[in-house]
């Protein structure tokens, strides 16, 4: 029987990326939505991606009797002192849409010149089982913020983020390309070593 891992994100796009990134492992990958049970809402009140990822993984692991993989991620923009950072999903307001968050970021950046638009995507993965943390891993992806939305694939800030060394936004590339160089790809590569050790 295959070993199971539960991806504890409520973000469908993150879930899809993580599933693809794990598909070279001999695992049954489940999502919260596959489990027919009441799942608690986790308040993300940590000061870092790491604290939030750990809180999500530990909380779900106390309710679900399987290995849990949680992702906390976001975008840090240099000209904005690292914002939106841990508030990336709720930058414009609580429960903001990607469109609202991108519009707010572009508005704040409208007078920032070309050379000063550096930003970094960060992803921290935490893995837990039965209330115990098995490990964490981190990935970063550097790039720049554009002046307008470009492309339709991906999610979140992908239409305004161009990875360093490329000329197109993540949303203009195929998902398989993003999955080769993204912050999430890097974090999951390291997370696989934790999974191999414990599962």
- Chain residues binding ligand ITT by CB under 6 A are 9-11, 14, 44, 71-75, 88-89, 101, 121, 154-158, 182, 184
The pair of three-digit structure tokens given for residue 153, joined into one six-digit string: 């694939």
| Beta-sheet pairing, 118-129 with 132-145 | antiparallel
Using the minimum distance from each CB to ligand ITT, give the nearer residue, 61 or 89. Answer: 89
Based on the residue annotation, tell me whether 72 is a catalytic residue of this protein.
Answer: yes
User: Per this entry, what is the length of the chain?
Assistant: 199
In the bound complex, what is the minimum distance in angstroms from residue 65's beta carbon to ligand ITT? 20
In the bound complex, what is the minimum distance in angstroms from residue 163's beta carbon to ligand ITT? 11
In the bound complex, what is the minimum distance in angstroms from residue 131's beta carbon to ligand ITT? 19
The CB-nearest residue to ligand ITT is 156
The pair of three-digit structure tokens given for residue 150, joined into one six-digit string: 């470009």
Q: Which of 24, 26, 71, 72 is catalytic?
A: 72
Using the minimum distance from each CB to ligand ITT, give the nearer residue, 83 or 129. Answer: 83
In the bound complex, what is the minimum distance in angstroms from residue 51's beta carbon to ligand ITT? 12
In the bound complex, what is the minimum distance in angstroms from residue 114's beta carbon to ligand ITT? 21
The pair of three-digit structure tokens given for residue 56, joined into one six-digit string: 């999500």
Q: In whole angstroms, what is the distance from residue 73 CA to residue 184 CA?
A: 8
Q: In whole angstroms, what is the distance from residue 109 CA to residue 62 CA?
A: 41
**Active site positions, annotated:** 72
């Amino acid at each position: 029987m295959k070993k199971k891992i539960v991806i504890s994100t409520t973000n469908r796009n993150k879930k899809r990326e993580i599933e693809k990134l794990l598909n070279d492992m001999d695992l049954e990958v489940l999502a919260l939505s596959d489990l027919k049970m009441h799942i608690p809402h986790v308040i993300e009140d940590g000061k870092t991606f790491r604290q939030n990822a750990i809180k999500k993984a530990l909380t779900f692991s106390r309710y679900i009797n399987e290995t849990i993989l949680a992702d906390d991620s976001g975008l840090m923009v240099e000209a904005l002192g690292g914002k939106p950072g841990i508030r990336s999903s709720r930058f414009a307001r609580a429960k903001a849409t990607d469109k609202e968050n991108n519009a707010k970021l572009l508005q704040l950046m409208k007078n920032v010149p070309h050379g000063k638009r550096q930003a970094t995507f960060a992803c921290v993965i935490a893995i837990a089982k039965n209330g115990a943390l098995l490990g964490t891993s981190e990935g970063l992806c550097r790039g720049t913020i554009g002046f307008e939305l470009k492309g339709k694939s991906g999610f979140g800030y992908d239409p305004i983020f161009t990875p360093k060394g490329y000329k197109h936004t993540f949303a203009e590339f195929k998902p398989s390309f993003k999955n080769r160089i993204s912050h999430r790809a890097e974090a999951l590569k390291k997370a696989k070593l934790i999974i191999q050790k414990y599962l």
